[in-house]
Amino acid sequence: MRKKTVIVLGVDGYLGWATALHLSAAGHEVVGIDSLVRRRWDRECGTQSLVPIKTMPQRVNSWRRLTSRTIDWRQMDLCDARAVTQLVREVRPEALVHFAEQRSAPFSMIDLGHAALTQVNNLVGTLNLLFALRDHAPAAHLVKLGTMGEYGTPNIDIEEGFLTITHNGRQDRLPFPMQPGSFYHLSKLHDSHNIQFACRIWGLRATDLHQGVVYGNHTDEVGMDPSLSTRFDYDAIWGTVLNRFCVQAAVGLPLTVYGKGGQTRGFLDIRDTVACVRLAIEHPAAEGEYRVFNQFTEQFTVKALAQKVRQARAAHGLDTRIVHLRNPRVEREEHYYNAKHQKLLDLGLQPHFLGDTLIESMIDTVERHAARVDPIELEQPNVDWRRGGTPGWQKSAEPEPSVARLV
Ligand code: NAD
Ligand code: USQ
């Protein structure tokens, strides 16, 4: 496989850092971009990664020391159009992986300021990138992290991006109908529309990875040394569900299933995230093509995930309680769900399925950092879809952003 120059946007994040290492290890030239805004949002929310993470300069130095490979790290806000244009003009990437967005559904539902922040940050950043590609690197392949949540939970099978419809005797292949469940998930759908439009009118090439919920924090590269760790979120704003359940189990708190727990989602191991992105880069979209890959390996109900964690603990003689909390979200709690996910398998993805060993290794990781667990984060969630952020969501003294300050 020919080695490429790849810009990883959002390189300081959970998935961006692990992916940058994986691409660098595979021999690609990686330029890593991040504004470090997520570290600021953590301070605002009073949250932190369970696993300590180094600063970006420390991380890239450590990677160079351990492997003699370089990641060209640059601090930059994707919402700064001039900086994005300069970056693309200078680097002339063959591929870009775009992770650099506000990615928490609860954060986007706190209030108007956070909904606006999410949509401005995500849409403007992506628009800046699309215009820079049009003008300076029209042949580059944009690999964009979208989300399975763009589809919602329809009562029909979910296809990979498009659906062939016959209506009044005529047929067309149209974008799959979408029903996102938060202002964050809506921002991903708006991005999808903008990217698809740019491919159609300017001939850009893009892969929209509609990714499910990711779990775990170990990849071959991240595991090489603690200085290469990637973040591990478990709190009620940033923590994804299986990561939260593993932390709850490790510290002896009940697993918090929201509502009935029949909510079904696609899930994948972080090792599969990095592999999927590499596969997409190494098999690019054609000129003018906008394609969608559903990026997950298994689907589970939230209740079934909690049971899996309980069983893994029971094998060691440990009892874990499961509680059903009033659901802070507005979402279907019992529904049909059958989403296709064939295209990445066709490109050669070898999935890591969720088993007891992985759950145990996640719990081992938590136990090593148990002193950093804040139990308040594992109890009642503090953002409600109907009422927004409830008192106490914000533990730090940093002021809430106003729309005026953001736009
Ligand atoms: P993360 O918050 O850990 O990382 C996102 C990174 O992007 C952060 O380091 C942040 O500082 C940076 N960023 C945000 N806005 C920026 C901007 N305007 N300019 C420059 N940098 C900016 O999130 P993650 O979990 O790594 O998710 C990465 C992407 O994958 C997101 O787009 C998310 O929507 C998508 N995704 C994540 C999951 C998951 O389970 N984590 C699942 C599906 C899709
Ligand atoms: N849930 C619980 N208990 C908890 C936490 C969550 O029952 O303690 C439930 C939620 O109600 C929801 C499901 O678990 O039904 C998934 O929630 P989540 O917080 O794990 O994931 P979500 O908010 O959907 O967002 C995450 C990432 C986001 C990504 C998305 C993929 O934060 O960036 O886009 O997963 S997907 O869900 O496929 O859209």
- Going from the Cα of 255 to the center of ligand 1, the distance in angstroms, rounded, reads 25
- Give 33's strand partners: 9, 74
**Of all protein residues, whose CA lies closest to atom 21 belonging to ligand 2?**
240
| pLDDT score, position 75 | 98
pLDDT digits (tens, 9 = 90+) for 179-219: 999 999 999 999 999 999 999 999 999 999 999 999 999 99
The active-site residue out of 19, 47, 126, 147 is 147
Cα–Cα distance, 134 to 199 (Å, whole number): 10
- For residue 368, report the phi and psi dihedrals to the nearest 5 degrees: -65, -25
Question: Is 85 labeled as catalytic in the residue annotation?
Answer: no
pLDDT value of position 49 = 97
Model confidence over 329-375: pLDDT tens digits? 999 999 999 999 999 999 999 999 999 889 999 999 999 999 999 99
Q: Which residue is closest in CA terms to ligand 1's atom 35?
A: 145
Cα 261 to ligand 2 centre (Å): 12
Distance CA 188, CA 181 (A): 11
Domain 5-382's class?
Answer: alpha beta
Confidence of residue 394 (pLDDT cuts 50, 70, 90): low
Whole-number percent of the chain with pLDDT over 70: 96
Q: What are phi and psi of 148, to 5 degrees?
A: -60, -25
Q: Ligand 2 atom closest to Cα of 328?
A: 11
Q: What is the mean pLDDT of residues 12-21?
A: 98
Candidate from 121, 213, 256 with most ligand 2 atoms within 8 A of CB, to mutate:
213
Q: Which two tokens stand for residue 49?
A: 């990664």
What are the extents of the domains in the chain?
Answer: 5-382
- pLDDT score at 329: 98
Catalytic pick among 184, 215, 234, 290: 184
pTM: 0.96
pLDDT score at 404? 40
Q: 47 catalytic, yes or no?
A: no
